[in-house]
């Protein structure tokens, strides 16, 4: 794992290290090939494309979504800022969706493509232009769905650990007891680490990464708990409100992982990834990657507030941004190896990561 080494060597860029790890994993799952995953230009275009996406899909952000007639305005018209934005954004988004897809197609034709979502579907589906288009946009959905959400979850986790050293210590004690200090934790350890699971649940509840679900429309009239919902009503799930309901999670603004160790407390992970048929299709990866990353960070590193020039600890303010993906406002954290043994593990895991074949050997059905 290169992340741990990067956190030690350059702690001030920790959000960028999370982004790089998540984007790399997303690119690998979606497209697989080294030409795509190591291409910095493609990666930065994809990241810019994601920023555009988050700026545009916030419900209510654009009047044209509610008044489609505005779409007929010329781009110079005073209320048509959205058109000028669209002209700037479209080529970036189209390139970031099309280019990695075309590279996978080229490698398939040459017989050199690695296992990935795209190469698997291009080989197994009966292809016509519409199916190809679906595969292309779905692959991009994996990238969009994964990398910012994972980065935000790890950023909030870091924030929570810096502010709650007691929780950090308890989770570290559990890892030391269950995993020991001669290897890094693995996904397979998840069931044996109930306290760390509770920390993950509390991070996702306390600061849901996606606060409002994407919009859905009722196909027919319905009634829900006494409320009449006419057909074709736009419905947005307020994930934040559900996970901050004080009747279910008392004192909801406080970070208390212990609440998830009690019986009959609803699992926030059932809501944090959306509900119903359009719920997050990546939720397995979305829980496994942050979990194992959190576990490896706590196994090897102490996360602490940085100090000012007078030696006072700078405790970060808990405040989220207002974009689609809920990120903490920028804050600082110190990352120091917990022991000589931990430092050794960090170096060993980085060496191991560097020596891995750059391939997904198989794509499981
Ligand atoms: C902490 C991590 C994540 C969180 C909190 C999260 C949450 C969500 C939520 C709330 C939605 C909208 C569901 C709805 O509207 O009801 C969503 C959609 C989506 N997510 Fe995730 N997600 C995460 C990670 C991932 C990962 C790792 C992937 C892919 C590997 C992914 C792929 C997607 C896709 C493709 C959609 C769109 C689904 C559709 O339009 O039907 N997500 N996610």
Cβ proximity of 150 and 18 under 8 Å: yes
Say whether pLDDT at 178 is over 70: yes
pLDDT tens across 297-332, in order? 999 999 999 999 999 999 999 999 777 789 999 999
Cβ proximity of 261 and 194 under 8 Å: yes
What's the number of CA atoms in the CB half-sphere (13 Å) around residue 170?
Answer: 14
C-alpha to C-alpha distance for 195 and 178, rounded to whole angstroms: 11
* Atom 34 of ligand 1: nearest residue by CA position: 145
Cβ proximity of 115 and 361 under 8 Å: yes
Confidence band of 362 (pLDDT split at 50, 70, 90): very low
Rg (CA), the chain: 22
Choice from 116, 150, 286 to test ligand 1 binding pocket (greatest atom count within 8 A of CB): 286
Q: 134 labelled as ligand-binding? A: no
Say whether pLDDT at 342 is over 50: yes
Residue 229 pairs in a beta bridge with 222
Identify the CA nearest to 46 among candidates 116, 141, 121.
141
Domain 2-355 has CATH 1.10.630.10: yes
C-alpha to C-alpha distance for 229 and 220, rounded to whole angstroms: 8
Supply the pLDDT for residue 49.
84
Residues with C-beta less than 6 Å from any ligand 1 atom: 29, 141-142, 145-146, 149-150, 153, 209-210, 213-214, 272-275, 278-282, 285-286
CA 349 – ligand 1 centroid, Å: 29
Q: Which pTM was predicted?
A: 0.89
C-alpha to C-alpha distance for 362 and 82, rounded to whole angstroms: 43
Q: Which atom of ligand 1 is closest in space to residue 29's alpha carbon?
A: 30
Supply the pLDDT for residue 66.
67
pLDDT tens across 32-75, in order? 877 777 777 887 888 888 888 777 776 666 666 667 777 777 77
Say whether pLDDT at 129 is over 60: yes
**For residue 296, what are its two tokens?**
């490896």
């Amino acid at each position: 794992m290169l992340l741990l080494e990067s956190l030690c060597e350059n702690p001030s860029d920790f959000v960028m290290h999370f982004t790089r790890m998540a984007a790399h994993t997303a690119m690998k799952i979606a497209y697989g090939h080294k030409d795509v995953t190591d291409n910095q230009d493609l990666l930065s275009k994809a990241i810019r494309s994601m920023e555009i996406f988050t700026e545009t899909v916030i419900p209510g952000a654009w009047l044209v979504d509610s008044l489609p007639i505005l779409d007929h305005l010329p781009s110079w018209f005073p209320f048509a800022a959205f058109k000028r934005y669209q002209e700037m954004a479209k080529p970036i988004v189209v390139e970031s969706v099309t280019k990695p897809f075309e590279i996978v197609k080229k490698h398939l034709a040459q017989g050199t493509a690695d296992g990935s979502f795209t190469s698997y579907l291009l080989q197994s589906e009966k292809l016509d232009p519409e199916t190809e288009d679906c595969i292309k946009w779905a692959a991009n959905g994996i990238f969009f769905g994964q990398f910012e959400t994972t980065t935000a979850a790890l950023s909030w986790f870091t924030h929570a650990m810096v502010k709650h050293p007691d929780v950090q210590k308890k989770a570290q004690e559990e890892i030391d007891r269950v995993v020991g200090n001669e290897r890094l934790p693995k996904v397979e350890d998840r069931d044996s680490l109930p306290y760390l699971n509770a920390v993950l649940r509390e991070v996702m509840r306390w600061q849901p990464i996606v606060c409002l679900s994407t919009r859905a429309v009722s196909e027919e009239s319905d009634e829900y708990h006494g409320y009449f919902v006419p057909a074709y009503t736009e419905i947005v799930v307020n994930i934040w409100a559900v996970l901050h309901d004080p009747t279910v999670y008392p004192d909801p603004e406080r970070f208390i992982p212990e609440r998830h160790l009690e019986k009959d407390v609803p699992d926030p992970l059932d809501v944090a990834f959306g509900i119903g048929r359009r719920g997050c299709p990546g939720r397995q990866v979305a829980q496994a990657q942050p979990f194992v990353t959190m576990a490896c960070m706590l196994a090897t590193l102490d996360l602490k507030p940085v100090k000012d020039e007078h030696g006072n600890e700078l405790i970060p303010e808990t405040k989220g941004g207002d974009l689609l993906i809920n990120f903490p406002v920028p804050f600082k954290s110190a990352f120091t190896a917990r022991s000589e043994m931990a430092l050794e593990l960090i170096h060993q895991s980085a060496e191991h990561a560097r020596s891995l074949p750059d391939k997904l050997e198989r794509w499981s059905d």
